Amino acid sequence: MAPGRALRRTLVAPLRRAFAGRGRQLAPERGAGSREAAPGRVSRFCPPRKSCHDWIGPPDKYSNLRPVHFYIPEDESPSEQKLRELRQETQDWNQQFWANQNLTFRKEKEEFIRSRLQAKGLGLTAETVTS
Protein backbone atom coordinates (compact mmCIF):
# COMPACT_ATOMS: atom_id res chain seq x y z
CA MET A 1 0.00 0.00 0.00
CA ALA A 2 1.27 3.47 -0.82
CA PRO A 3 2.26 5.66 2.15
CA GLY A 4 -0.16 8.38 1.01
CA ARG A 5 -3.12 6.03 1.25
CA ALA A 6 -2.26 4.95 4.77
CA LEU A 7 -1.95 8.58 5.83
CA ARG A 8 -5.32 9.42 4.26
CA ARG A 9 -6.99 6.50 6.04
CA THR A 10 -5.66 7.62 9.42
CA LEU A 11 -6.90 11.16 8.84
CA VAL A 12 -10.28 10.52 7.21
CA ALA A 13 -11.97 8.60 10.05
CA PRO A 14 -11.21 11.23 12.76
CA LEU A 15 -12.28 14.02 10.40
CA ARG A 16 -15.57 12.28 9.70
CA ARG A 17 -16.21 11.91 13.41
CA ALA A 18 -15.28 15.54 14.05
CA PHE A 19 -17.73 16.84 11.46
CA ALA A 20 -20.61 14.54 12.46
CA GLY A 21 -23.67 16.21 14.00
CA ARG A 22 -27.22 15.28 14.99
CA GLY A 23 -30.45 16.09 13.20
CA ARG A 24 -28.81 18.15 10.49
CA GLN A 25 -28.81 17.73 6.78
CA LEU A 26 -27.02 18.97 3.69
CA ALA A 27 -28.88 20.86 1.03
CA PRO A 28 -29.56 18.78 -2.08
CA GLU A 29 -27.68 19.72 -5.18
CA ARG A 30 -30.07 21.79 -7.29
CA GLY A 31 -29.97 22.43 -11.00
CA ALA A 32 -27.43 19.71 -11.68
CA GLY A 33 -29.72 17.91 -14.14
CA SER A 34 -30.42 21.00 -16.24
CA ARG A 35 -26.90 21.57 -17.50
CA GLU A 36 -26.61 21.64 -21.27
CA ALA A 37 -22.87 21.08 -21.62
CA ALA A 38 -22.58 18.16 -19.26
CA PRO A 39 -25.51 15.86 -18.66
CA GLY A 40 -25.88 14.21 -15.28
CA ARG A 41 -24.67 15.22 -11.87
CA VAL A 42 -21.89 17.68 -11.20
CA SER A 43 -19.94 15.25 -9.08
CA ARG A 44 -20.36 11.94 -7.30
CA PHE A 45 -18.94 13.56 -4.18
CA CYS A 46 -21.21 12.95 -1.20
CA PRO A 47 -20.33 14.12 2.33
CA PRO A 48 -21.54 12.22 5.40
CA ARG A 49 -25.21 12.75 6.20
CA LYS A 50 -24.49 13.87 9.76
CA SER A 51 -22.09 16.64 8.75
CA CYS A 52 -22.69 20.07 10.28
CA HIS A 53 -20.54 22.10 7.87
CA ASP A 54 -20.54 23.04 4.21
CA TRP A 55 -18.51 20.56 2.18
CA ILE A 56 -16.50 21.39 -0.91
CA GLY A 57 -16.12 18.57 -3.42
CA PRO A 58 -13.53 17.78 -6.07
CA PRO A 59 -13.43 19.91 -9.23
CA ASP A 60 -16.05 19.22 -11.87
CA LYS A 61 -14.52 17.91 -15.09
CA TYR A 62 -16.53 20.28 -17.26
CA SER A 63 -16.50 23.58 -15.35
CA ASN A 64 -13.37 23.08 -13.20
CA LEU A 65 -15.35 24.50 -10.26
CA ARG A 66 -15.59 22.73 -6.93
CA PRO A 67 -19.22 21.97 -6.03
CA VAL A 68 -20.38 23.00 -2.55
CA HIS A 69 -22.84 20.94 -0.54
CA PHE A 70 -24.48 23.42 1.80
CA TYR A 71 -25.27 22.51 5.39
CA ILE A 72 -28.86 23.13 6.57
CA PRO A 73 -29.13 23.64 10.33
CA GLU A 74 -32.29 22.53 12.13
CA ASP A 75 -32.93 26.03 13.50
CA GLU A 76 -32.25 27.89 10.23
CA SER A 77 -33.95 31.30 10.22
CA PRO A 78 -35.83 32.55 7.12
CA SER A 79 -33.05 35.02 6.32
CA GLU A 80 -30.38 32.30 6.66
CA GLN A 81 -32.44 30.05 4.41
CA LYS A 82 -32.79 32.79 1.80
CA LEU A 83 -29.02 33.42 1.90
CA ARG A 84 -28.27 29.70 1.52
CA GLU A 85 -30.70 29.40 -1.40
CA LEU A 86 -29.19 32.44 -3.12
CA ARG A 87 -25.71 30.96 -2.65
CA GLN A 88 -26.93 27.69 -4.18
CA GLU A 89 -28.53 29.45 -7.13
CA THR A 90 -25.34 31.44 -7.71
CA GLN A 91 -23.25 28.29 -7.56
CA ASP A 92 -25.58 26.50 -10.00
CA TRP A 93 -25.44 29.46 -12.41
CA ASN A 94 -21.63 29.60 -12.21
CA GLN A 95 -21.41 25.86 -12.73
CA GLN A 96 -23.54 25.98 -15.87
CA PHE A 97 -21.87 29.14 -17.21
CA TRP A 98 -18.32 27.81 -16.85
CA ALA A 99 -19.22 24.35 -18.17
CA ASN A 100 -20.69 25.96 -21.31
CA GLN A 101 -17.82 28.46 -21.56
CA ASN A 102 -15.15 25.74 -21.31
CA LEU A 103 -16.96 23.52 -23.80
CA THR A 104 -17.16 26.40 -26.29
CA PHE A 105 -13.49 27.24 -25.74
CA ARG A 106 -12.38 23.65 -26.38
CA LYS A 107 -14.43 23.44 -29.58
CA GLU A 108 -13.13 26.75 -30.90
CA LYS A 109 -9.56 25.84 -29.94
CA GLU A 110 -9.88 22.61 -31.90
CA GLU A 111 -11.31 24.47 -34.91
CA PHE A 112 -8.50 27.02 -34.72
CA ILE A 113 -5.82 24.32 -34.62
CA ARG A 114 -7.44 22.57 -37.59
CA SER A 115 -7.61 25.77 -39.62
CA ARG A 116 -3.99 26.71 -38.87
CA LEU A 117 -2.75 23.24 -39.81
CA GLN A 118 -4.79 23.25 -43.02
CA ALA A 119 -3.42 26.70 -43.89
CA LYS A 120 0.11 25.32 -43.52
CA GLY A 121 -0.76 22.19 -45.46
CA LEU A 122 -0.18 19.84 -42.55
CA GLY A 123 -2.42 16.98 -41.44
CA LEU A 124 -4.20 16.79 -38.11
CA THR A 125 -3.13 14.06 -35.67
CA ALA A 126 -4.83 12.94 -32.47
CA GLU A 127 -1.96 14.09 -30.26
CA THR A 128 -2.04 17.60 -31.78
CA VAL A 129 -5.65 18.15 -30.69
CA THR A 130 -5.23 16.76 -27.15
CA SER A 131 -2.16 18.80 -26.27
In 3D space, the residue among 29, 71, 81, 30 whose CA is nearest the CA of residue 49 turns out to be 71
pLDDT of residue 54: 87
Query: What is residue 23's predicted lDDT score, i.e. its pLDDT?
Result: 43
CA dist., res. 67 & res. 36, Å (int):
17
Integer-rounded Cα Rg, in Å, for the chain is 21
pLDDT in the model for residue 106: 96
Task: Quote the DSSP letter at residue 69.
Answer: E
The pLDDT value given to residue 124? 62
List per-residue pLDDT tens for the chain, 131 residues long.
Answer: 455 555 445 544 444 444 444 444 444 544 444 434 444 444 566 767 777 888 888 999 999 999 998 888 889 999 999 999 999 999 999 999 999 999 999 999 999 999 999 998 887 665 655 55
pTM score of the predicted model: 0.55
Three-state DSSP state, 51: strand
**Secondary structure E strands in 1-131:** 25-26, 55-56, 68-69, 71-72
Output phi, psi for 18, to 5 deg.
Answer: -65, -35
Asked if 98 and 63 touch (Cβ cutoff 8 Å), the reply is yes
